[in-house]
Amino acid sequence: MSKVKVGIIGAGRIGKLHAENLVKLHRVELKAISDIFAEQVREWAGSIGIPHVTDDYKEILQDPDIEAVLICSPTDTHVPIITEAARAGKHIFCEKPISFQLEQTREALEVVKEAGVKFQVGFCRRFDHSLKKAHQTVKEGGIGEPHILRITSRDPHPPGKDYVAASGGLFFDMAIHDFDMARYLVGSEVEEVFAQGAVLVDPLFAECGDVDTAITTLRFKNGAIGVIDNSRKAVYGYDQRVEVLGAKGCVTVSNVTPTTAEISTAEGVFRDKPKYFFLERYNEAFIQEIADFIDSILFDKEVPVSGHDGFQAELIAMAAKKSFAENRPVKLEEISAVQSV
């Protein structure tokens, strides 16, 4: 069986994660990784058998042997790299969000389309067994027409100030996964958004013009309504639950715990907190997401998460941001209108 030759651009936490998953896939050859701090990753790269490390991502794009790239660099570099990679004929896996500027996202997607390469966005949660089952249940009519969507998505602790300042804000950095999940679960586009936010966890969010706590309500084109609650700090761990109520039933996904051990004492019954954070909870989903991307190349299949999916999630994030700023419901078409100017 032929192997897909891959390069990774960006060796931060997420780039390394993908690298470690890729080297275990028999149908992949991970040829190179680039990072602006190449020296700092050289030893790690060697230990898992990546033959080439560079501080210039262009080397990867120019390597005619490499068929596909994973873009794991900072968000503000995504659009230029996507553009170059697509023009170089590389299939592209890009971490979310594609960009903070919808117009730029759209332009990048157009270049991708012209180039005819595969393009997948890193919404890893779609590959989680439980969330996939919820999606399938709704899709196959298992709960009838969807009426109410509920997502709870909370981090175990807030990131540092540097991260927050560059993150694009809670709606773009954190809730964007939930906006994608909302579309994925309900199977309909979002029409209108109302977002409430608050700074309750740490004043640093206010200093960065951001919030750390939010409730976003969504109105879908198919008539369903939904709500997402986000917090940057759930002291008991990464809280990831979804629920869709429909005309004929309700599907819920609850948290995953490291063990099923339960201890009963005179004080009460104690069990594990949820798995610590996204690396633990979505560990298998990250593996599956990359395996599916590789398969879409090998067998020329559609990618499971398209550029359209990336764009729509950003559109909702933009509407949420505007809604919060203006304390009023915002229609997605208002955003598109602004953008198309």
Binding residues among 63-102 for a second copy as defined by CB under 8 A:
none
For residue 217, state whether it binds a second copy (rule: CB under 8 A).
Answer: yes
Q: Please, which residue, 107 or 202, has the CB nearer to a second copy?
A: 202
Give the range of 6-14, 108-116, 210-218, 304-312 binding a second copy by CB under 8 A. Answer: 210-218
CA angle 197–121–158, rounded 5-degree value: 35
Give the binding range for a second copy (CB under 8 A) out of 28-36, 162-170, 195-203, 287-295.
Answer: 195-203
| Interface with a second copy, residue 226, by CB under 8 A | yes
Q: Is 2 among the residues that bind a second copy (CB under 8 A)?
A: no
* Interface with a second copy, residue 276, by CB under 8 A: no
Instruction: Please tell me whether residue 198 binds a second copy under the rule CB under 8 A.
Output: yes
Number of residues that bind a second copy (CB under 8 A): 74
DSSP class per residue in 209-245: T--SEEEEEEEETTS-EEEEEEES--TT--EEEEEEE
Report the alpha-carbon distance of residue 145 to residue 334 in Å, rounded: 27
CA dihedral 123, 125, 128, 130 (to 10 degrees): -140
**Binding flag, residue 239, a second copy (CB under 8 A):** yes
Residues contacting 89, CB < 8 A, separation 6+ = 115, 117
Q: Is the peptide bond before 156 cis (omega within 30 degrees of 0)?
A: no
Q: Using CB under 8 A, which of 73, 75, 99, 231 touches a second copy?
A: 231
Site membership for a second copy, residue 291 (CB under 8 A): no
Give the residue carrying structure tokens 């033959």: 51
Can you list the positions of beta strands (E) in 22-112? 28-34, 52-54, 68-71, 91-94
Minimum CB–partner distance for residue 110 and a second copy (Å):
34
> Which of 224, 318, 320, 332 touches a second copy by CB under 8 A?
224
Instruction: Quote the least distance from Cβ 248 to a second copy, whole Å.
Output: 6
How is residue 132 written in tokens? 């996939």
Residue 273 beta carbon to a second copy: minimum distance, rounded to whole angstroms: 6
Reading phi first (left if > 0) and then psi (alpha if -120 to 50, else beta), residue 90 is in: beta
Residue 62 binds a second copy (CB under 8 A): no
The yes or no reply on residue 147 touching a second copy (CB under 8 A) is: yes
Question: Binding of a second copy at residue 142 (CB under 8 A)?
Answer: yes
End-to-end CA distance of the chain: 49
Instruction: Give yes or no for residue 279 binding a second copy (CB under 8 A).
Output: no
Name which of residues 318 to 337 contact a second copy (CB under 8 A): 327-329
Indicate if the alpha-carbon torsion angle 55, 58, 61, 63 is positive or negative.
Answer: negative
> Binding residue for a second copy (CB under 8 A) from 88, 109, 143, 335?
143
Q: In terms of CB distance, is 37 or 236 closer to a second copy?
A: 236
Decide if 73 contacts 9 (C-beta within 8 A).
yes
Give the shortest CB-252-to-a second copy separation in angstroms.
5
